Amino acid sequence: MKLTVLGCHSATPRWDANPTAQVLEVKGHLFLIDCAEGTQVQLRKFKVKFARIKHIFISHLHGDHFFGLVGLISTFRLLGRDAELHVYGPKGIKEAVTLQLKLGKSWTNYPLLFHELEGNSPEVVFEDDKVSITTIPLKHRVYTNGFLFKEKPGERGLDVEKARALNVEMSYYRKIKQGADAVTKDGRVIPNTEITFDPPPAKSYAYCSDTSYFPEIVPQIKGVTALYHESTFLEKEHHLAEKTEHSTSKEAAAIAKKAEVGTLILGHYSGRYGNLEAFRDEAQEIFEAVELAEDGKVFEW
């Protein structure tokens, strides 16, 4: 999985601080997560081949997470897109986008499909043979979902040398990788595990923004490889976090610890803080593996 942070700051876009948008590359897919104003410029700046985006996931309908969506959709039209585009987001998102396209008499010339969300329990919104994507209901001032991206386990690795030595028919290789026992040319059965090894562990990514401290998500995100959790504030502004239904860095770390995640990535910083290292320091008092999101930063796992 390769995550490119396009913007990781809260509230208003500024010259050097973009509000939320991310691109997650996994198993040949390019998923866009949130789409604040300026996202299309960030996509160009960081040389993302954004025509490849076919699925856009919008967590909630605050401007710093979705005001760039209609512009990106319009740009796809101007660039002559013809591939389907799927948009997943809270109920209302379809009307907000289509009203603006209608007013500009600028309908897309490619299929634009909305998948509106209104459930309050996890829901699989995308699935193919390699990846599944599930909503993570969050707790914020408006209806909000995070998203859990999970690779499906890959095929087992085949010990080809051993297979040859044992005289296993090559035409069986595919089935063996899928878990079948091997059969030699002279009819002997070799148990699958003798000739294969475990596939690399399936990776996962949980995107949780925006939300107040909400431990109800822990069972769902248990053991994810990477967790992006918003930390709008530091603990000394805990009262603001509570009031605005955001999290502090400490709270994000507490979630990461409870969920035993691989790495915690912090972001959605309030503009009031000059030095972002304070977010890491605070989180690391509770959970060691902390990274700071930055506009343009790429994480791979």
Chain centroid offset of residue 85 CA: 17
Distance CA 20, CA 37 (A): 9
**How near is the Cβ of 292 to a copy of itself at its closest, in Å?**
22
Task: Name the residues that contact a copy of itself, by CB under 8 A.
Answer: 11-15, 37-38, 40-41, 44-45, 60-63, 67-68, 70-71, 74-75, 78-79, 90, 92-93, 95-96, 99-100, 103-106, 141-142
3-state SS class at 150: strand
10 Å CB burial of residue 9 (0-12, 13-18, 19+) is: buried
Closest to a copy of itself by CB, 82 or 277: 82
Among 12, 16, 22, CA closest to 62: 12
**How near is the Cβ of 65 to a copy of itself at its closest, in Å?**
9
Closest to a copy of itself by CB, 52 or 174: 52
**How near is the Cβ of 58 to a copy of itself at its closest, in Å?**
11
Helix, strand, coil percentages, rounded to 5, for the chain = 30, 30, 40
- Residue 51 backbone dihedrals phi, psi, to 5 degrees: -65, -20
128 part of the active site: no
DSSP secondary structure, 18-37, as one string: -BSEEEEEETTEEEEEEE-T
**How near is the Cβ of 14 to a copy of itself at its closest, in Å?**
6
**How near is the Cβ of 48 to a copy of itself at its closest, in Å?**
13
Closest to a copy of itself by CB, 98 or 132: 98
Closest to a copy of itself by CB, 38 or 137: 38
Catalytic residue from among 16, 34, 64, 281: 64
Chain centroid offset of residue 167 CA: 44
- Measured CA to CA in angstroms, residue 139 lies from 8, 92, 232, 244 at distances of 19, 18, 14, 11
Closest to a copy of itself by CB, 88 or 172: 88
Residue 192: which H helix or E strand, with range? helix 192-195
The residues pairing with 300 across neighbouring beta strands, listed in sequence order, are: 2
Active site residues: 64
